[in-house]
Structure 1
Amino acid sequence: MDFDFTDDQLALRDAVARWVDKGFGFERRHHLAKAGGATRAVWQELADLGLTGLAVPSEHGGMGFGAVEAMVVMEELGTGLVNAPFAAGALVAPALLQAAPAEVQAEWLPRIAERSALVVLAHQERAARYRLHHVSTQAQRSGDQWLLTGSKSVVPAGDEADAFIVPARLSGAVDATDGIGLFLVRPGTAGCSVRGHATQDGARAAELLLQACAATLVCEQGFEVLEEAVDIGIAALCAEGVGLMGKLTAITVDYMNTRKQFGTTLASFQALRHRIADVKMQLELARSMSYYASLKLGEPAPARRRALSQAKVQLGQSARFVGQQCIQLHGGIGVTDEYIASHYFKRLTMLEMQFGDTLHHLGEVSTRMQDTAGVFG
């Protein structure tokens, strides 16, 4: 199989890398995090590069690129530790909106492509434990409109978003896969309360409370659409994680080549060199599974879902190992807020929890291994 990138994909990678080098240094990132994590301005700069239209179909003003291009962009954003809601707003949201009626698509997809709108998925509920089908938020028809009642937690960039896509139950039990609809909610609508807060990795999230809040129907049979969009989000996280781990490893190697102990550099100690070799092995395992995840996004749902869970398991294991080893190799400076490595470690820790932690996805892989005991069988 040919894993070489095309010329267009390499050009896209270079364009993002140049912006990261010139426009998003650690000093800017650290300032944004200390100021509360608001990154709408960063989102608009990514839009100026044309990146917010990456996954938007061309008929709606976007570029209509696929999973590999998204992976290339996310890896570079991870390398630069860019804390903008790019995956949420430019990859996950367009996938959900493409299931909407034509008039809803025409209203929102061009606005995403041209940077004037940030739409994010608000799906997590307190008792769900990462189960997408656990939806207690209720949707009721009232005349010619839908009213939603319920709450959602840890909505990415929730207090900066222009709209939310909210799964809500039309019928059935709270854990049923049938009867889940997707709705679009605008902040500021009567009955919609948004409470923003900073996150540990220097970004922002919000708690969303809906009390008979008017919403626009995206689709009535929304569970499969939600699954596919979340898989797109997982693939994006895997690519971002590869960028984060690659940069953190490079920072650690550079530190070991300059920091001296007992009159010689840390890099001269064989035991520490072996630990870096183990770190690089985990990085390459994560990279290969990131490629695997992106390539499997076009597969039928059963194969796709298992592949993405496998990739998320490897991401969690690699992120934990690489993060902990690199911080330990730095010593005390590695956990200080003023030093760049600590911020990479925080973001890697957050990635492990998003869209299901390692134990959750290990269970998903186990459940889907029906006919074989081999992980890749």
Structure 2
Amino acid sequence: MNFNHSEDRQMLTDTLGRYLQQRYPIEERHKISGSEDGWSSTHWEALAELGIVGALFDEGAGGFGGTGFDIAAIFEPNGRALVVEPFLGTLMAGRALAQAGGQEALLEKMILGTTLVAFAHEEPDSRYDLAGITTSAARADDGWTLTGAKAVVAQIEPADHVLVSARVTGSPGDETGIGLFLVERTADRLNVRGYPLIDGGRGGEIGLQETPAQLITADAYSLVEEAIAAGIVALSWEAVGIMDVLKAATLEYLRTRKQFGVPIGKFQALQHRMATIALEIEQARSAAINAADALDGDRQKRERAVSAAKYTIGRVGTLVAEEAIQMHGGIGMTWELPLAHYAKRLTMIGHQLGDEDHHLDRFVMLGQAA
């Protein structure tokens, strides 16, 4: 089968790649990542103007893409450049809003890059369980209020709105009764504690105490599950982009670093290790292709495919990051070498939206339920 991008997708990838190569070098990324904002609104608006954000959404949501392979076409070059702008949160929040319906005006602003919506689902004690939501929603005279906490919400500080999941009815751990609510970033009794993330950019914790909110849908579990599946596809392709960079950087180092008068790449033991890395990266790429292809299929196939991809990305990502650093030696751990930052981001991707253990268990459980 031919898994190359279509002509339109390849043009999109090439456009994004050229932009990042010319305007988003590693020095610019470090500057943005270490800033008080943790992202660049200037770059975000420029990328939106190029249509990059719009490619994350289908025509019904005001975009022109939205498939798993459209997501892949954007996140793979993002991985190569270690982009810290809010693509992942925008993708998940936007897909959930689009599935819920009635939010066309807000989606249009998101696609134009003029409005930022953060996605807040995970909680301090949820441990990747999509139904482990204890944040509660209660009716108020003029709408709804939310009480609870959300953990590690990316780009929460500059967000204009926050899309928050909360339990409307049912017992904790039950898939029923989870709703989605839109909260203004400046809403009363919304407490945000921001901090820098270890792999770049900024995130934060959210505290809600009878915080005013707008109900988007009272039956949101399937929407959240689908949005997170899209997020896993995105992370998988971001990781593939990072792995390719690490492999290329390590090969170049093996060609140029000499020991005993010859390049260390001549040593058979290191050649075998690089061959293993290359094979494992292709395994990860295949899993990412499978997840992208299954994203718009039936729920069972989609969820097994994304869990398989996330498990594979986590396992292979750890191997590639460790091997790249070990074969570079001590220099591989230094701030000045870009490789260290790629390895750090790749390692953290393994823990976003569920780690290896979680998704292996989930893959098995979904298979038994089939």
The question of a shared fold, defined as TM-score above 0.5 by the shorter chain, is answered with yes
- Per the alignment, residue 293 of structure 2 pairs with 295
- Per the alignment, residue 43 of structure 1 pairs with 44
Q: Is the 8 A contact 1:93 1:120 kept in 2?
A: yes
- Larger deviation, residues 254-263 vs 133-142: 254-263
Q: Report the Cα offset of residue 326 of structure 1.
A: 0.5
- Give the counterpart letter for 1:346 in structure 2: K
**Unaligned 5+ residue runs, structure 2?**
none
Q: Is the 8 A contact 2:100 2:223 kept in 1?
A: no
Per the alignment, in what secondary structure is the counterpart of residue 283 of structure 1?
helix
- Give the counterpart letter for 2:49 in structure 1: D
Alignment of 1:16-55 (within 5 A): 16-36=16-36, 38-41=38-41, 42-55=43-56
**Partner Cα separation in structure 2 for residue 207 and residue 255 of structure 1:** 40
- Larger deviation, residues 181-190 vs 255-264: 255-264
**Partner Cα separation in structure 1 for residue 240 and residue 101 of structure 2:** 36
Q: Report the Cα offset of residue 165 of structure 1.
A: 0.9
Alignment of 1:165-244 (within 5 A): 165-244=163-242
- Structure 1, residues 133-163: CA drift from partner, whole Å, max 9, x if none? 0110010011230100111010011112111
**Partner Cα separation in structure 2 for residue 348 and residue 56 of structure 1:** 25
- Give the counterpart letter for 1:302 in structure 2: Q
TM-score, normalization by structure 1? 0.95
Q: How has the CA–CA distance of structure 1 residues 359 and 31 changed in structure 2, closer, same or farther, with 3 Å as cutoff? A: same
- Per the alignment, residue 358 of structure 1 pairs with 356
- Per the alignment, residue 97 of structure 2 pairs with 97
- Give the counterpart letter for 2:17 in structure 1: A
- Structure 1, residues 64-83: CA drift from partner, whole Å, max 9, x if none? 44221110110011011112
Per the alignment, in what secondary structure is the counterpart of residue 295 of structure 1?
helix
Among all aligned residue pairs of Structure 1 and Structure 2, give the percentage whose two residues are the same amino acid: 37
Alignment of 1:1-377 (within 5 A): 1-36=1-36, 38-41=38-41, 42-58=43-59, 61-89=62-90, 91-102=91-102, 105-370=103-368
- Structure 1, residues 195-251: CA drift from partner, whole Å, max 9, x if none? 111011111111111111111111110001100000000000000000000011101
TM-score, normalization by structure 2? 0.96
How many residues were matched structurally?
369
Q: Report the Cα offset of residue 101 of structure 1.
A: 4.3
Q: Is the 8 A contact 1:38 1:160 kept in 2?
A: no
**Partner Cα separation in structure 1 for residue 257 and residue 330 of structure 2:** 13
**Partner Cα separation in structure 1 for residue 59 and residue 25 of structure 2:** 32
**Partner Cα separation in structure 1 for residue 283 and residue 246 of structure 2:** 16
Q: Report the Cα offset of residue 262 of structure 1.
A: 1.6
**Partner Cα separation in structure 1 for residue 8 and residue 259 of structure 2:** 46
Per the alignment, in what secondary structure is the counterpart of residue 237 of structure 1?
helix
- Give the counterpart letter for 1:193 in structure 2: N
Q: Report the Cα offset of residue 62 of structure 1.
A: 2.4
Q: Report the Cα offset of residue 270 of structure 1.
A: 1.2
**Partner Cα separation in structure 1 for residue 256 and residue 77 of structure 2:** 26
Q: How has the CA–CA distance of structure 1 residues 334 and 36 changed in structure 2, closer, same or farther, with 3 Å as cutoff? A: farther
- Give the counterpart letter for 1:251 in structure 2: A
RMSD of Structure 2 on Structure 1 (CA): 1.5
**Partner Cα separation in structure 1 for residue 266 and residue 65 of structure 2:** 49
Per the alignment, in what secondary structure is the counterpart of residue 149 of structure 1?
strand
Per the alignment, in what secondary structure is the counterpart of residue 99 of structure 1?
helix
Q: Is the 8 A contact 1:99 1:218 kept in 2?
A: no
Per the alignment, in what secondary structure is the counterpart of residue 165 of structure 2?
strand
- Give the counterpart letter for 1:344 in structure 2: Y
**Partner Cα separation in structure 1 for residue 62 and residue 228 of structure 2:** 23
- Larger deviation, residues 186-195 vs 230-239: 186-195
Q: Is the 8 A contact 2:150 2:207 kept in 1?
A: yes
- Structure 1, residues 237-285: CA drift from partner, whole Å, max 9, x if none? 0000000000111011111111111211111111111111111111101
Q: How has the CA–CA distance of structure 1 residues 60 and 307 changed in structure 2, closer, same or farther, with 3 Å as cutoff? A: closer
- Give the counterpart letter for 2:7 in structure 1: D
- Structure 1, residues 323-374: CA drift from partner, whole Å, max 9, x if none? 00011000000011111000001101110000000000011011112289xx
